[in-house]
Amino acid sequence: MVGSRWAVVKLPVRPVQHHVAERLAYTSRMPAVAPPDYPALSARYADFFPGQPTATPRREAFRWAGGTLRLDRHGPRQAPLTVVLVHGAGGYGRMFAPLAAALADAGHEVLAPDLPGYGLSPAHWAQVDYAAWKRALLALIDAEHTQRARPIALLGASIGGYLAYLVAAESPWVRGLAATTLADPRDPVVQAALVRQPWMRALLPTLRPLSRLTRGLRVPVRWFTHMQRMSRDPALTALVCTDPLGGGNRVPVGLLASLFGTAPALEPEQFQRCPVLMLHPACDDWTPVAISDRFYQRLAAPKQRVLLDGCGHFPVEQPGLDQLRDALLPFLQRIDR
C-alpha cells in the first residue's frame, strides 16, 4: 500500500481450495461508519488490562470479494512476523487492543480485523457466516503475503480459536496457531456448553433452512449463547454484553447455523501444517478446558498446552495474563527464526 492509494493484486489459486482467485484491495481511507462514541467505547476495554502498553493502531479497510473488513494495524510495518488476531462471536478487533499493543511492543506487527457483521465491518446477511469469515481471513492473509512475504501467525480468542484453526488448515502462509479455546462446535459436548438451552440445541439442524427463510432477520447473539459467562469480572461481562459492536450485537440466524456445521479442510489427526499453542483460561466456565482438550488431544502437529491461572473465558486476570505473554512471545520468536 502506498499512502492512501488503492493497491490491487491478482492472487494465484490456492491448490488446497476450490474457489477462484479473488481481486483484493486495501485502502487506508476508511468511511466514517464508526459510531460517535467508538473511541471511548472501545478504549474502555483497556481498563481491564492494567499495566499493558497504550495501543496506537492505524485504522485501515481491506476489500475482499464479500465486502470490506475494517481492521487495526499495530506495530512496525517491517516487522519480520505478523500476528493476526481472530475474535469470537462476542468481540471485535479493537477489544483486544491492549494485547495487540503488548505484541507490537515486542516487535511484532499485529492485525486485528473486525469480522463481517461485527465491530466496524457491516456486512450483507449472507457474509455474517462462519465460512465467509474464514474466506475473508484467507483473503486478508493472501493479500498480506503478496505485498510482503513473511511468516504469519494466528491468535484466536473464544470461538475465534476454531476459526483460526480452519484458516490454518487451508492457508499455506500460516506458520503458527495460538488460541485461547480450541472447542470444535460440531461436537455435541461443545454445543451443550455453547448453547443456552437444550431446546435450542434441538433446533440446530433447522437453523440452516431457517436462515434462508429469515435472510436478513437479526437476533441478539446473547439469546442463544451463555454470554453472561464471558468473564469472571462482572463489569467486563456487562461491557461485552451491552457493546453493540460485540456481545450486544444482533446476528443473522445463519451465523449460528454455520458455527455449528463448518468442517475444516483437515481434521486434527491430519493437521501438521504448523505448531499449535493452546493458551486456555484455567477458570473458564463457558468453554471449560476439558472440551478444548477433546480437540487438542487429536492434533497431530507439534503442540503445547498452557493453562492461564485465575483467568475466565476472556483472559484478563493475573497471573494468567502474564502467563499468556510468557508462553506466546517465545512461541512467536520460534516461528520468526
Mean pLDDT of 278-302: 97
Q: For position 8, what pLDDT does the model report?
A: 32
Stronger pLDDT, 193 or 95, i.e. the higher one: 95
The amino acid occupying position 1 is M
3-state helix, strand, coil in the chain (%, to 5): 40, 20, 45
In Å, the largest CA–CA distance within the chain is 53
What are the C-alpha distances in Å from 54 to residues 50, 74, 104, 233? Answer: 10, 11, 10, 21
Cell reading at 295: 480437540
Q: Can you read off the three cell numbers belonging to residue 254?
A: 445463519
- Cα separation of 53 and 33, whole Å? 27
* Domain presence at residue 2: no
pLDDT tier, 22 (very low <50, low <70, confident <90, very high otherwise): very low
Q: What digits encode the pLDDT tens for the residues 2-17?
A: 333 333 333 333 333 3
**304 phi and psi angles, rounded to 5 deg:** -140, 140
Section 234-254 average pLDDT: 90
Q: What is the mean pLDDT of residues 89-112?
A: 95
Q: Can you give the CATH number for the domain in which 74 is found?
A: 3.40.50.1820
Average pLDDT over residues 43-58: 88
| 35 DSSP 8-state letter | -
Confidence of residue 214 (pLDDT cuts 50, 70, 90): low
How many distinct structural domains can be found in the chain?
1
Strands (E), the chain: 7-10, 23-27, 58-64, 67-74, 82-86, 109-113, 152-156, 174-179, 218-220, 250-252, 276-281, 303-308
Contact between 176 and 331 under an 8 Å Cβ cutoff? The reply is yes
DSSP string, 158-226: TTHHHHHHHHHTT-TTEEEEEES----TTSHHHHHHHBS-HHHHHTGGGHHHHHHHHTT-EEEGGGTB-
Cα 165 to the center of its chain, rounded Å: 10
- Asked if residue 39 is part of any domain, the answer here is yes
Contact yes or no for 325/318 (Cβ under 8 A): no
Mean pLDDT of the chain: 85
177 phi/psi in degrees, rounded to 5: -130, 120
Residue 74 in contact with residue 53, Cβ under 8 Å? no
Is 232 within the bounds of a domain?
yes
pLDDT of 215 reads 64
Beta bridge partners of 276: 177, 303
- Is 1 inside any structural domain? no
Please give the pLDDT value at position 231. 95
Tens digit of each residue's pLDDT (9 = 90 or more) over 152-197: 999 999 999 999 999 999 999 999 999 999 999 999 899 888 887 6
Q: What is the pLDDT of residues 200-212, one digit of tens each?
A: 666 666 666 666 6
Q: Is 284 within the bounds of a domain? A: yes
Q: Which residues contact 230 (CB under 8 A, 6 or more apart)?
A: 90, 236, 237, 240, 241, 247, 286, 312, 313, 314
279 φ, ψ to 5°?
A: -110, 80
Residue type, 337: R
**CA angle at residue 170 from 164 to 176, to 5 degrees?**
50
| Boundaries of domain holding 286 | 7-336
Judged on CB neighbours under 10 Å (0-12, 13-18, 19+), 203 is: middle
